[in-house]
A and B are shown apart, each in its own frame.
Chain A
Amino acid sequence: MFSKPAVRLVLAVLALLTLCLSLTALRHPYLGIIGAVLLVLALNPMALGRSLACAARKPGFWFLVALLGALVANAVIVRLVPVKLPHISLAAEEVARLGPLKITNTLLASWVTMLVLIVIAFLGTRRMEMVPRGLQNVIEFVIESLYSFLRSILGERTGLAFPTIATLFLFILVSNWMGLLPGYLSITITRAAEHGHEAHAVHLLRSAATDLNTTLALAIGSVLMTQVYGIAVAGFPGYLLRFIKVERFAAFVHGLNGKGPRQGLGSLFYGFIDLIIGVLELFDEMTKVLSFSFRLFGNVFAGEVLLGVMIFLVPFVASLPFLGLELFVGFIQAFVFAVLTAAFIAQATAHHGAEAHATAPHHAPDGADERGLVEEPAAAPAAAHGT
């Protein structure tokens, strides 16, 4: 052979490409890839002028062997257990009916999520001890990290809004992650033929957030609770002033009365603009509902479709990185939902001057904030923050 390793490498790549092309003529999808990996394995020591024993010491070699094994196993298993293209439907499918109430597979999945959360909470708090061990320890870790993170956004209102935000986060997180377990979208039941449609198979369980109804409900709940917290802090008339901004008009009138400094006519003009801005803020709240629900729905539904198609294309191999992606996306979406809710609550409860009586007394689980976040929320005066 030629002496220089680089030339050998080039020859190896060329031989590999030729083999791939010739094998695709056989119209077998896996032979091409398997042949390519075999070639790379064989040519690896040859191209670099080393022996097989030397190449076997490198981790890259074993990665290729593992990939080869996975592809061969894939080709074998796919002959025995054929994987069908998943039946994708945007709307949730009905699995049972209680009179007029349609029970859909996503509703079942959200019930399962609720059950899991309730059981974990029950088991973890049965015998509470001062020094937590076991499940109580894990739960305390989760709650404490959430609390200290939200404290950087909400400041002194954290105690007030924490239950809502933490519930949203935990529900969406558990629901997204449970949607990746075996059983979701694989167990199907056959619905008997009824008027309107013939007998067909229906998935029994489907991740809860893949239903626009679930995400819409979560979004409406979040925005509604934001308004509730705003009213709790500022009082109903005080909160309405957020949408009917008359401060500049009041300042103008005070200027005329002599109760305050005289304002120019520009203040009147901007007062009208403030009114329009107030109405826009009202519409902003509606847009928040849409944006919350569609963000969560789109991410989880697209992930489900992607996973289904990937599993159909290259079963048992391509699903692994995409399951990892879904784990990550599920966590990020729950996190973003919670953080955005917290930010909007912080915005809604931003109150001029500290109103200590309005906030529920909270004892921050203390210890220094390890993340070193130094940003103060807009409202809380530094003195009350008490780090």
Chain B
Amino acid sequence: MDTEMIKNIAAGLTIALGGFAPALAIGRFAAEAMRSLGRNPESSGVVSSNMIVAIAFTEAIAIYALVVALAIKFV
């Protein structure tokens, strides 16, 4: 097991594991947003903009994992 192999495995695992929880969280955001839109379609503007901001926060965590994976692979 040389360094190259471990680096490749590490890069793949980093993004795979790191993207798992944010994806789950974003799915739950979207589900709750759909539920509240179904209850009150008039609140679509407020709900949507807040959902986008919350999704951007969670996606940032996945992006951190991606950046680390890219750094492992290319640096």
Question: Quick one: which of B46, B66, B75 contacts A302, CB cutoff 8 A?
Answer: B66
Contact B56 A298 (CB under 8 A): no
B interface residues, tally (CB under 8 Å): 17
Q: How many Å lie between the Cα of A375 and that of B53 in the bound state?
A: 15
Contact B52 A294 (CB under 8 A): no
Q: How many Å lie between the Cα of A373 and that of B45 in the bound state?
A: 7
Contact A298 B74 (CB under 8 A): no
Known contacts A336-B52, A339-B53; A90 and B46 CB within 8 A of each other: no
Whether a CB of chain A sits under 8 angstroms from the CB of B16 is no
Contact A372 B63 (CB under 8 A): no
How many CB-defined contacts (below 8 Å) exist between A and B?
52
Q: How many Å lie between the Cα of A291 and that of B53 in the bound state?
A: 14
Interface string of A30-73 (1 = CB under 8 A from B): 00000000000000000000000000000000000000000000
Contact B56 A336 (CB under 8 A): yes
With a cutoff of 8 Å between Cβ atoms, the chain A residues found around residue B46 in the complex are 373-375
Question: Quick one: which of B56, B63, B64, B71 contacts A332, CB cutoff 8 A?
Answer: B56
Interface string of B56-75 (1 = CB under 8 A from A): 10011001101100110011
Known contacts A343-B53, A372-B45; A90 and B60 CB within 8 A of each other: no
Whether a CB of chain B sits under 8 angstroms from the CB of A299 is yes
Q: How many Å lie between the Cα of A297 and that of B71 in the bound state?
A: 12
Whether a CB of chain B sits under 8 angstroms from the CB of A262 is no
Instruction: Give the interface size class of chain A.
Output: 20 to 34
Smallest Cβ distance from A377 to chain B, in angstroms?
Answer: 13
With a cutoff of 8 Å between Cβ atoms, the chain B residues found around residue A302 in the complex are 63, 66-67, 70
Contact A301 B70 (CB under 8 A): yes
With a cutoff of 8 Å between Cβ atoms, the chain A residues found around residue B42 in the complex are 372
User: Which residues of A, 281-304, contact B by the 8 Å Cβ criterion?
Assistant: 291, 294-295, 297-299, 301-302
Known contacts A294-B63, A294-B64, A298-B63; A336 and B53 CB within 8 A of each other: yes
Main secondary structure of the interface of B (DSSP, over half): helix
Whether a CB of chain B sits under 8 angstroms from the CB of A232 is no
Q: Tell me the nearest residue of chain B to A91, going by C-beta.
A: B75
Q: Tell me the nearest residue of chain B to A292, going by C-beta.
A: B60
Q: How many Å lie between the Cα of A295 and that of B61 in the bound state?
A: 8
Contact A298 B67 (CB under 8 A): yes
Whether a CB of chain B sits under 8 angstroms from the CB of A88 is yes
Known contacts A90-B74, A90-B75; A371 and B60 CB within 8 A of each other: no
Question: Quick one: which of B45, B52, B53, B56 contacts A371, CB cutoff 8 A?
Answer: B45
Q: Tell me the nearest residue of chain A to B44, going by C-beta.
A: A372
With a cutoff of 8 Å between Cβ atoms, the chain A residues found around residue B56 in the complex are 295, 332-333, 336, 340
With a cutoff of 8 Å between Cβ atoms, the chain A residues found around residue B70 in the complex are 90, 301-302, 305
Q: How many Å lie between the Cα of A129 and that of B55 in the bound state?
A: 41
Smallest Cβ distance from A292 to chain B, in angstroms?
Answer: 9
Question: Quick one: which of A89, A294, A371, A372 contacts B74, CB cutoff 8 A?
Answer: A89
Known contacts A90-B75, A301-B70; A294 and B45 CB within 8 A of each other: no
* Given contact pairs A90-B71, A340-B56, A373-B45, a sample of 13 additional A-B residue pairs in the complex whose CB atoms are under 8 Å apart: A89-B74, A90-B70, A90-B74, A291-B60, A297-B67, A298-B63, A298-B66, A302-B63, A302-B67, A336-B53, A340-B53, A372-B45, A373-B46
Q: Which B residues contact A (CB, under 8 angstroms)?
A: 42, 45-46, 49, 52-53, 56, 59-60, 63-64, 66-67, 70-71, 74-75
